[in-house]
Amino acid sequence: MRRYEATREILNAISDELVVCNIGHPSQEIFQLKDRPENFYMFGSMGLSSSIGLGVAMAQDRKVIALDGDGSVTMNMGTLATIGLVRPKNYMLIIIDNKAYGSTGFQRSFTADNLRLEEVATASGVENVVVITEHDEIESTIARLLKADGPHVVVVKCEPGMPDGIGVIPIDGMEVRNRFMDAAKSGA
């Protein structure tokens, strides 16, 4: 299982949640699999998906999912400390851990060796930390967790690599922003 297959299962589990999508290939895959106004695609600021999602969650009551990667969370590991401090009930951080920096050419990342982000999340004060390794457990696990109060940190372990034919996102930043802001407002 690669990130693409894991992402497809995750997206099957969501309904009206606001979703912050990590920069690069992850956003491109999500756009291709299930574009919707509730998706905020990052075109820059690597590392900040979990933080943007945390801000959206703290600012309003609707459920928020930050879809992030192991390399990005490692770049901004303080985010786990802040999530463990604030603990918003409406927040889920999903870390797709493919042990690589995929968007920059699949260089080996820190989780390929000693780093265990799920342990950092637990040590930061997040009580609901779940690790998923099996493809056929992703959709049901995420759907179940979304029914319960968070915060949740979910680590989905997968392999590096991505399918051919994933293209750049054809809408620009202001359109991404404006339709997300409208969607966030309309659900409030």
Partner 1 sequence: MSTQTAVNSNSPAGKLYECVRNHGIDFFVSVPCSLLGEVIEILEVDKDVTYTPVTREEEGIGILAGAYLAGRRPAIVMQNSGYGNIVNAICSLTNYYNIPIVMLVSHRGSAGERIEAQVPMGDAVKGVMEASGVKCVSVEHPAELDRVDEGIDWALKNEKSIAFLLPFSFWKDDDNYVPEHR
For partner 1, which residue of 10, 19, 54, 130 counts as binding (CB under 8 A)?
A: 54
Q: If you write DSSP's letter for every residue of 66-93 in order, what string do you get?
A: EEEEHHHHHHTTHHHHHHHHH--TTEEE
Through-space distance between the first and last CA atoms of the chain, rounded to whole angstroms = 36
Strands in 152-157's sheet, in edge-to-edge order, are: 39-41, 18-21, 64-69, 91-97, 152-157, 128-132
Answer yes or no: are the C-beta atoms of 65 and 14 closer than 8 Å.
yes
Verify binding: residue 89, partner 1, rule CB under 8 A: no
Smallest separation, CB 47 to partner 1 (Å)? 7
Pick the closer one to partner 1 by CB: 39 or 98. Answer: 39
Q: Contact between 188 and partner 1 (CB under 8 A)?
A: yes
128 binds partner 1 (CB under 8 A): no
Please give the structure tokens belonging to residue 27: 């956003």
Q: How far is the CB of 28 from partner 1 (least distance, A)?
A: 17
12 binds partner 1 (CB under 8 A): no
- Closer by beta carbon to partner 1, 1 or else 64: 64
Phi, psi of 3 (to 5 degrees): -55, -40
- Does position 58 bind partner 1 by CB under 8 A? yes
Helical segments of the chain, H only: 3-13, 25-34, 49-59, 70-75, 78-86, 117-123, 138-146, 173-186
Which region, judged by CB under 8 A, interacts with partner 1, from 7-15, 24-32, 48-56, 156-164? 48-56
User: Of the candidates 85, 104, 149, 171, which one interacts with partner 1 according to CB under 8 A?
Assistant: 85
Binding site for partner 1 (CB under 8 A): 18, 20, 40, 42-45, 47-60, 76, 78-79, 81-82, 85-86, 173-174, 176-177, 180-181, 184-185, 188
